[in-house]
Amino acid sequence: MLRWLAVVAAGVVVACGSAPANGNAKAPSSVVVFAAASLQPPFDRIAAQLRTRDDIATTFNYAGTQTLTSQLTQGAQADVFASADTAHMTAAQQAGLLAGGSQLFAHNRLEIAVAKGNPKGIRSLADLARPGLVVVLADPAVPAGKYALQALAKAGVSVRPKSLELQVTAVLSKVALGEADAGIVYVSDVVTSGQVDGIAIPDGQNVIADYPIAQLQSAEHKEAAKEFIDFVVSPDGQSILKTAGFETA
């Protein structure tokens, strides 16, 4: 245990000692970001780039947007809020939590997640009503579940899901594990998971999720918060989001 601590301590010393060697005279700063769970893959990459480029350390709290909103309303301390829908961002604004306005930085559409190679031959939302097919959705309390119901309604399909999962990633893992034949998730989930195949949903039936981002009123690291948001909407940030399956704003 002691030896382990020593190793960590040595690592910290080395890391701190080498920082000025970058030639970057700026003192290291940090930023706390509350972000929707679906944003984790691109935001982790954005944080890594911010760290090397501007020496900004980012701390994330990834969770369902509805959970983040209630945490912020209850007084949680953060600098930036990135939401998976405009409804929760509007609620945050009305609660006086935002420093200014919010801006849309990405969109995400829905897709049907199926096992690799699509063994059940699923082609459309209508196929999800097929008897014997194990379909899993997110609970309507979760944005992804709400959107899935809207998409099914647009397609005029009535599905009897086997389970209403409490987060969209749980839908994905049930399909990836082979326990479910199909689930409705975000395109970005399919792209970053790599363990499932995605079946596109046509525009007429699809629902587009809008992702707004904003600096919080209570931000302690205002400058770093601004730099984080600027990076997300910059061409570099947008290209990272695009690689992760999002549509750019």
Partner 1 sequence: MTQARIPGPLIALAAAGLLLFLLPLAGLVVRAPWDQLGGELTAPETLTALELSIFCSLTATAVALVLGVPLALLLSKTTGTVRGLLRAVTTLPMVLPPVVGGVALLLAFGRKGLIGAPLNDAFGIQIPFTTSAAVIAETFVAMPFLVIAVEGGLRSLDPRYEQAARALGASGWRVFARVTLPLLRPAIFSGAVLCWARALGEFGATITFAGNLPGTTQTVPLAVYVALETKPQGAIVLSLILLAVSLAVLVGMHDRWLGEP
The site for partner 1 (CB under 8 A) is made up of: 64, 66-67, 134, 136, 139-142, 161-166, 170, 174, 177-179
Q: Return the number of the residue (20 or 178) whose C-beta is nearest partner 1.
A: 178
| Shortest spacing between CB 84 and partner 1, in angstroms | 13
- Residues 176 and 68: their CA atoms lie apart, in Å, by 26
Strand bridging mode 135-138 / 80-82: unpaired
| Shortest spacing between CB 232 and partner 1, in angstroms | 26
- Residues 101 and 20: their CA atoms lie apart, in Å, by 36
Q: Return the number of the residue (118 or 217) whose C-beta is nearest partner 1.
A: 118
Q: Return the number of the residue (66 or 238) whose C-beta is nearest partner 1.
A: 66
| Shortest spacing between CB 73 and partner 1, in angstroms | 11
Judge residue 183's burial from the number of C-beta atoms within 10 Å of its C-beta, 0-12 exposed, 13-18 middle, 19 or more buried: buried
| Shortest spacing between CB 218 and partner 1, in angstroms | 23
Q: Return the number of the residue (142 or 148) whose C-beta is nearest partner 1.
A: 142
Q: Residue 153: left (phi > 0), alpha (psi -120 to 50), or beta?
A: alpha
Q: Return the number of the residue (165 or 189) whose C-beta is nearest partner 1.
A: 165
Is there a contact between 199 and 126 (Cβ–Cβ < 8 Å)?
no
| Shortest spacing between CB 166 and partner 1, in angstroms | 6
Q: What count of other Cβ atoms lies within 10 Å of the Cβ of residue 169? A: 21
